[in-house]
Amino acid sequence: MTLQSAGSMKRKENILIITRRLIILSGITLLLMVSFFGLTLWLSQRFMVSWVCFMAGIMGGFVSIQQRLKKIGNEELTLLSESWYQILLIPIYGGIFSLVLYLLFLSGLLEGSLFPVFTTGSAGPGVAAPPLNATTIKDFFSNTYPSTGQDLAKLIFWCFLAGFSERLVPQIITHMGSKAPGVKEEEDH
């Protein structure tokens, strides 16, 4: 066996190891998502949207890794195949980015027909918001939901995309930061 074919065999073996781990972790994540939805329906409780966002971001991260496997260099491939933690790192970042995106949607900083619209059950239109405290924050996060099924689908899509495209949310943050009042844009020389 030549050195090149041995390297090729090791690469294929590493890809198979990583793929198995991705399948297992994706299955666990999907099972948790379905269980979470099922429990909230069974208990007649409203689900926490933030968990759905986080899990959709994680799934996006898993799919992103799988899509890039054939393009990853041998050194990184070996690292991924030797550690469950390395495989989990990118999806966890995806989950965090999806939560940041969710906050951008809730804050109204990202709006438009492509983005979800939210409804809150804590106060009606024209009602002054109560002073900010732990109870109002808890009420806001536990009583604010996508307005329609389409808005829920948009939210899940964008959260999946935040996990899939690891540069999406940082680019949005950079763009918003450069447009903030008092922030000077760097000039290209």
Q: Report the candidate in 144, 14, 158, 42 with the shortest Cα–Cα distance to residue 100.
A: 158
* Range from 42-46, 69-73, 126-130, 173-177 carrying the lowest mean pLDDT: 126-130
Cα 157 from Cα 115, distance rounded (Å): 10
pLDDT in tens, 12-68: 999 999 999 999 998 998 898 888 777 777 776 666 788 889 999 999 999 999 998
Contact 154, 116 (CB under 8 A): yes
Check residue 142 and give its pLDDT. Answer: 73
Cα 60 from Cα 58, distance rounded (Å): 5
Cα 18 from Cα 12, distance rounded (Å): 10
Contact 97, 160 (CB under 8 A): no
Helices (H), 2-148: 3-42, 49-68, 74-82, 84-107, 134-143
Cα 47 from Cα 141, distance rounded (Å): 11
